[in-house]
Amino acid sequence: MKTRSWLSLAGGLCLATGCATAPKPPELIAYETLRHDPAVPEAMKRAPDLVSASEKLGNKATDEWSSNDLDESRRDALQAQIRLKTALALLEQERAKNRLQAIGAEQAKASDELGQLTQELSALKVQADLRQKLADARKSADDEKSRLSTQMAADQQKLQQASELMAVQEKLSSARLALSTADTVDAKKYAAPDYGAAEDLIRKAEQEMKAGSLAGASASLEVAKDHAQKAMAIAKPLYEQTAQTAENRLRDDALVREAQSLSGVDVRIDSQGPLRRLIIGASNLFPKGQATKPIEGKLVVLDPVAALINKYPTYPIQVIGHTDNRGRVAELVALSQTRAQAVFEALVARGVDAKRLMVSGQGPNEPLVSNRTAADRAKNNRVEIVFLYH
């Protein structure tokens, strides 16, 4: 009995072992995994034959595995996998082709859009370039304008400075001319303060010009010119007076020399303060006594005197008659006056301008010598032709 139980158990185990399902082949597992790919339904639409064949093979492989026909199951599972993979590859191809078509359309659309945008951009860039060129040109023009304006301002400033400098130089020349003019009248001597001030101011102006202070130089030169002109005004009459005096002195000296060379007359010089008198005295022109007519032939001594008077036409001339003291004074004065008038007429007859001559009679009032002797009285009876000068 015991032995029979053990045999039954062993027989059962053998039956169980023999009837148990073998492990699923990896090919079948891989197929089943692939079968659950979400793309399989779509692959079914794309390649129904392949998918159906795959399913059939898969089912067959499953059955074969269930019946422990593992080699067959593995082979069929491989075939099922291959067909399903092929179907999936075809699906991928279709998807790729569809995507390529879609991309082609999108590409064409995008290319069109890009073309339009490129054209628009190109036009805008042309416009922008033109604007930029315009802006650049305007900026360049503005810069040039600004530069020219600055240059013009600088030129104007230079011109103004040059003009000011020229004006100052003109003033300097004018001041120097005024000073030189003042030199002609020896203003340095006759108007030393103003002349010195003018010189100092001209030097100061020159220094100011070197330092660039044209305004100061201009003002200095104006004052310098004023001083120079003032010095000129002050010095001129003095200079002229001095010059005239010197000339007069020379002329006076020449007159005296020539007068002293005359014959038949007495020449002497008399000073009464600043007034000097060249006296040419002619005696013995009239007979003794009260005669008023000159002696014939005696008047020839008046010829060189008349020539001398005419040679020196600027001197005022007095014709003065004198007598001795014998007789009444009034009568003697009248007599001397008459005799002076006779000489006056003789001189006029010899070409002397009557307007230059002043006739007077002094009578016995100005004797040359005493009237004691006849010879002395003869000397006192005379007519004097007097050149008046300073």
Q: Which two tokens stand for residue 48?
A: 């129904």
Q: Taking the complex as a whole, how short is the minimal distance between the CB of residue 62 and other proteins, in angstroms?
A: 18
Cβ atoms of 225 and 175 closer than 8 Å? yes
Tokens of 372: 């004691």
In whole angstroms, how close is the CB of 21 to other proteins at the nearest point? 24
Smallest gap from Cβ 128 to other proteins, in A, equals 5
What is the spatial distance between Cα 289 and Cα 274, in angstroms, rounded to a whole number?
37
Return the percent helix, strand and coil in the chain, to nearest 5: 75, 10, 15
| Closer Cβ to other proteins, 131 or 328, answer by number | 131
What are φ and ψ of residue 61, in 5° steps?
A: -65, -40
Q: Which is nearer to other proteins, 107 or 373 (CB)?
A: 107
CB-neighbour burial class of residue 49 (10 A; exposed 0-12, middle 13-18, buried 19+): exposed
**Rounded to whole angstroms, how far apart are CA atoms 213 and 223?**
16
**Which pair of tokens denotes residue 367?**
């004797």
Q: Of the two residues 27 and 208, which places its CB atom closer to other proteins in the complex? A: 27
Six-digit token string for 365: 């009032």
What's the min distance (Å) between Cβ of 135 and other proteins? Answer: 5
Residue placing its CB nearer to other proteins in the complex, 86 or 174: 86
- Tell me the closest approach of the beta carbon of residue 142 to other proteins, in angstroms: 11
Residues that bind other proteins (CB under 8 A): 75, 78-79, 82-83, 85-86, 89-90, 92-93, 96-97, 99-100, 103-104, 106-107, 110-111, 113-114, 117-118, 120-121, 124-125, 127-128, 131-132, 134-135, 138
To the nearest whole angstrom, how small is the minimum distance from the Cβ of residue 137 to other proteins? 9
Residue placing its CB nearer to other proteins in the complex, 100 or 275:
100
Instruction: Rank residues 60 and 225 by Cβ distance to other proteins and give the closer one.
Output: 60
CB 90 within 8 A of CB 47: yes
* Separation CA 187–CA 228 (nearest Å): 8
Decide whether 133 or 288 has the Cβ nearer to other proteins. 133
Alpha carbon distance 253, 179 (integer Å): 34
- List, as one string, the DSSP characters of 184-201: HTTHHHHSHHHHHHHHHH
State the nearest-atom distance from the C-beta of 24 to other proteins, in Å.
20
- For the CB of residue 48, give the shortest distance to other proteins in the complex, in Å: 16
| Tokens found for residue 78 | 């491989």
Closer by beta carbon to other proteins, 133 or else 311: 133
R_g over Cα of the chain: 78
Please say which residue, 37 or 376, places its beta carbon nearer to other proteins. 37
Give the orientation angle of helix 70-184 with respect to helix 26-35, to 10 degrees: 50
Label each residue of 248-278 as H, E or C.
HHHHHHHHHHHHHCCCCCEEEEEEECCEEEE
Exposed/middle/buried for residue 40 (C-beta within 10 Å: 0-12, 13-18, 19+)? middle
Task: Quote the least distance from Cβ 138 to other proteins, whole Å.
Answer: 6
How crowded is the C-beta side of 119, counted as CA atoms within 13 Å?
5
Task: Name the residue nearer to other proteins (CB basis): 86 or 169.
Answer: 86
Report CA torsion sign: 306, 309, 310, 311: positive
Output the smallest distance, CB 120 to other proteins, in A. Answer: 6
